[in-house]
């Protein structure tokens, strides 16, 4: 029964959206990169990240992006791995990253949702694992 399933909390794993100093996207906006961060002292294995965006246009029309799935075999302790680039044109949407992973034989998962207009330069903080500024969601 569902009441018999133990849902352990996700700790030490977060998602960050970081401006990338590389190539610019259309209209002179900087490129942005999404990272998965493992702050723990142990590796996480068989990571699956499902990403999508949803919301509405200024005219009230519903918008939903394609769902992308990424598999990462292992994320080392105290490290970060890139998930995908993100276009700033999507920042007005809810950007969801559903992360599932194993620690030993236990599976954990969590949804990280960047709400509309939360990915802005005013919300940048220093992210120690990347040694870069970014928008962090824990």
Domain of 27, CATH number, reads 2.60.40.10
pLDDT at 25: 46
**136-to-2, 26, 63, 114, 118 alpha-carbon distances in Å:** 32, 24, 24, 9, 10
Q: Residue 23 domain-assigned?
A: yes
The pair phi, psi for residue 95, each rounded to 5°, is: -110, 110
Q: Residue 135 domain-assigned?
A: no
pTM over 0.75: yes
Residue 110 token pair:
């969590």
pLDDT tens for each residue of 84-132 = 999 999 999 999 999 999 999 899 999 999 999 999 999 999 999 999 9
pLDDT tens for each residue of 10-66 = 999 999 999 986 555 445 567 899 999 999 999 999 999 999 999 998 888 999 999
Residue 51 token pair:
């990403």
Q: Residue 45 domain-assigned?
A: yes
How many Å apart are CA 88 and CA 35, to the nearest integer? 15
Q: Residue 20 domain-assigned?
A: yes
Q: Residue 29 domain-assigned?
A: yes
Q: Residue 73 domain-assigned?
A: yes
Residue 42 token pair:
């142990």
Contact indicator for 44, 10 with CB cutoff of 8 Å? no
Q: How many domains does the chain have?
A: 1
Q: Residue 95 domain-assigned?
A: yes
pLDDT at 118: 96
| Residue 69, pLDDT above cutoff 80 | yes
pLDDT at 58: 83
Q: Residue 138 domain-assigned?
A: no
pLDDT at 60: 87
Could you tell me the residue range of the domain that residue 22 belongs to? 2-130
Residue 130 token pair:
């990347």
């Amino acid at each position: 029964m569902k009441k018999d399933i133990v849902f352990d909390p996700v700790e030490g794993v977060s998602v960050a959206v970081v401006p990338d100093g590389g190539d610019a996207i259309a209209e002179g906006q900087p490129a942005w990169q999404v990272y998965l961060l493992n702050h723990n002292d142990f590796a996480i294995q068989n990571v699956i990240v499902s990403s999508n965006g949803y919301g509405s246009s200024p005219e009230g029309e519903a918008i939903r992006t394609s769902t992308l799935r990424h598999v990462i075999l292992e994320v080392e302790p105290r490290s970060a791995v890139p998930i995908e680039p993100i276009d700033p044109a999507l920042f007005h949407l809810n950007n969801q990253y559903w992360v599932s992973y194993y620690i030993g034989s236990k599976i954990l998962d969590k949804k990280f949702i960047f709400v509309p207009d939360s990915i802005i330069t005013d919300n940048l903080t220093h992210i120690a694992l990347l040694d870069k500024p970014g928008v962090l969601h824990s």
